[in-house]
Protein backbone atom coordinates (compact mmCIF):
# COMPACT_ATOMS: atom_id res chain seq x y z
CA UNK A 1 0.00 0.00 0.00
CA UNK A 2 1.13 3.53 -0.70
CA UNK A 3 -0.02 7.05 0.06
CA UNK A 4 -0.78 9.78 -2.46
CA UNK A 5 -0.76 13.22 -0.83
CA UNK A 6 -2.18 16.49 -2.09
CA UNK A 7 -1.03 19.22 0.29
CA UNK A 8 -2.07 22.82 0.71
CA UNK A 9 -4.75 22.92 -1.96
CA UNK A 10 -5.94 26.49 -1.52
CA UNK A 11 -9.44 27.78 -2.27
CA UNK A 12 -11.64 30.73 -1.45
CA UNK A 13 -14.95 29.82 0.14
CA UNK A 14 -17.90 31.22 2.06
CA UNK A 15 -18.07 28.86 5.02
CA UNK A 16 -18.56 29.73 8.66
CA UNK A 17 -21.01 30.53 11.40
CA UNK A 18 -20.93 34.32 11.24
CA UNK A 19 -22.75 36.40 8.65
CA UNK A 20 -19.47 38.19 7.90
CA UNK A 21 -17.71 34.93 7.00
CA UNK A 22 -20.62 33.89 4.81
CA UNK A 23 -20.63 37.26 3.04
CA UNK A 24 -16.95 38.07 2.57
CA UNK A 25 -15.48 34.56 2.58
CA UNK A 26 -12.09 33.27 3.63
CA UNK A 27 -9.15 31.30 2.34
CA UNK A 28 -9.27 27.57 3.03
CA UNK A 29 -6.55 24.96 2.66
CA UNK A 30 -7.11 21.25 2.23
CA UNK A 31 -4.75 18.28 2.53
CA UNK A 32 -5.79 14.83 1.32
CA UNK A 33 -3.89 11.63 1.96
CA UNK A 34 -5.16 8.76 -0.15
CA UNK A 35 -4.14 5.27 0.94
CA UNK A 36 -4.05 3.11 -2.19
CA UNK A 37 -2.51 0.02 -3.72
CA UNK A 38 0.18 1.51 -5.96
CA UNK A 39 1.78 -1.74 -7.15
CA UNK A 40 -0.24 -2.06 -10.37
CA UNK A 41 0.47 1.55 -11.38
CA UNK A 42 4.14 1.18 -10.49
CA UNK A 43 4.40 -1.83 -12.82
CA UNK A 44 2.33 -0.47 -15.71
CA UNK A 45 3.33 3.20 -15.46
CA UNK A 46 -0.21 4.09 -16.64
CA UNK A 47 -2.46 6.77 -15.20
CA UNK A 48 -5.46 4.47 -15.47
CA UNK A 49 -3.93 2.20 -12.83
CA UNK A 50 -3.68 4.88 -10.16
CA UNK A 51 -5.53 7.92 -8.82
CA UNK A 52 -5.75 10.88 -11.17
CA UNK A 53 -4.57 13.78 -8.98
CA UNK A 54 -6.30 16.33 -11.20
CA UNK A 55 -9.66 14.65 -10.63
CA UNK A 56 -9.09 14.66 -6.87
CA UNK A 57 -8.18 18.36 -6.95
CA UNK A 58 -11.22 19.24 -9.08
CA UNK A 59 -13.57 17.34 -6.79
CA UNK A 60 -12.21 19.09 -3.69
CA UNK A 61 -12.41 22.45 -5.47
CA UNK A 62 -16.07 21.85 -6.40
CA UNK A 63 -17.04 20.97 -2.82
CA UNK A 64 -15.26 24.01 -1.34
CA UNK A 65 -16.28 26.58 -3.94
CA UNK A 66 -19.80 25.49 -4.93
CA UNK A 67 -21.21 24.87 -1.45
CA UNK A 68 -21.61 26.76 1.80
CA UNK A 69 -21.13 25.06 5.15
CA UNK A 70 -21.20 26.37 8.71
CA UNK A 71 -18.57 23.98 10.09
CA UNK A 72 -15.14 22.77 9.05
CA UNK A 73 -16.18 19.37 10.40
CA UNK A 74 -18.93 19.18 7.78
CA UNK A 75 -16.52 20.03 4.97
CA UNK A 76 -13.99 17.41 6.13
CA UNK A 77 -16.59 14.63 6.39
CA UNK A 78 -18.15 15.49 3.02
CA UNK A 79 -14.74 15.45 1.35
CA UNK A 80 -13.74 12.15 2.95
CA UNK A 81 -17.01 10.47 1.99
CA UNK A 82 -17.00 11.68 -1.61
CA UNK A 83 -13.36 10.72 -2.11
CA UNK A 84 -14.07 7.19 -0.84
CA UNK A 85 -17.11 7.00 -3.11
CA UNK A 86 -15.40 8.23 -6.28
CA UNK A 87 -11.93 6.69 -6.13
CA UNK A 88 -10.42 3.26 -5.51
CA UNK A 89 -8.86 4.14 -2.18
CA UNK A 90 -8.73 2.07 0.98
CA UNK A 91 -8.49 4.94 3.42
CA UNK A 92 -8.46 8.72 3.32
CA UNK A 93 -7.20 11.40 5.66
CA UNK A 94 -8.54 14.92 5.11
CA UNK A 95 -7.42 18.13 6.78
CA UNK A 96 -9.34 21.37 6.27
CA UNK A 97 -7.88 24.67 7.45
CA UNK A 98 -9.58 28.03 7.75
CA UNK A 99 -6.92 30.70 7.38
CA UNK A 100 -7.07 33.78 9.62
CA UNK A 101 -10.21 32.70 11.51
CA UNK A 102 -12.44 35.32 13.14
CA UNK A 103 -11.15 34.71 16.65
CA UNK A 104 -9.72 37.44 18.87
CA UNK A 105 -5.99 36.95 19.20
CA UNK A 106 -3.05 35.92 17.08
CA UNK A 107 -3.93 32.69 15.27
CA UNK A 108 -2.79 31.44 11.86
CA UNK A 109 -5.56 28.91 11.24
CA UNK A 110 -8.09 26.43 12.59
CA UNK A 111 -7.78 22.85 11.34
CA UNK A 112 -10.05 19.82 11.39
CA UNK A 113 -8.72 16.37 10.52
CA UNK A 114 -10.73 13.26 9.74
CA UNK A 115 -9.73 9.74 8.74
CA UNK A 116 -12.14 7.33 7.08
CA UNK A 117 -11.69 3.74 5.92
CA UNK A 118 -13.63 1.78 3.36
CATH number at residue 13: 3.30.1130.10
Indicate the number of domains in the chain: 1
- Residues 35-64 pLDDT 10s: 999 999 999 999 999 999 999 999 999 999
Asked if the model's pLDDT at residue 106 lies above 90, the reply is no
Residue 98 is a catalytic residue? yes
Domain that holds residue 103: 2-117
Considering 55, 85, 90, 98, which one is annotated as catalytic?
Answer: 98
**What residue ranges in 14-43 does DSSP mark as E strands?**
26-36
Task: Give the pLDDT score at 103.
Answer: 82
92-111 burial, b at 16+ Cβ within 10 Å, e below that, comes to bbbbbbbeebeeeeeeeeee
From residue 86, alpha-carbon distances to 21, 77, 89, 106, 118 in Å are: 30, 14, 9, 38, 12
- Residues 72-101 pLDDT 10s: 999 999 999 999 999 999 999 999 999 888
Amino acid sequence: MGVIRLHNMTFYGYHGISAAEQKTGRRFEVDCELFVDIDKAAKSDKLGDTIDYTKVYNLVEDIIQKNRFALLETIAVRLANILLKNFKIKEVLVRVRKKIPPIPGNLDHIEVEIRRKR
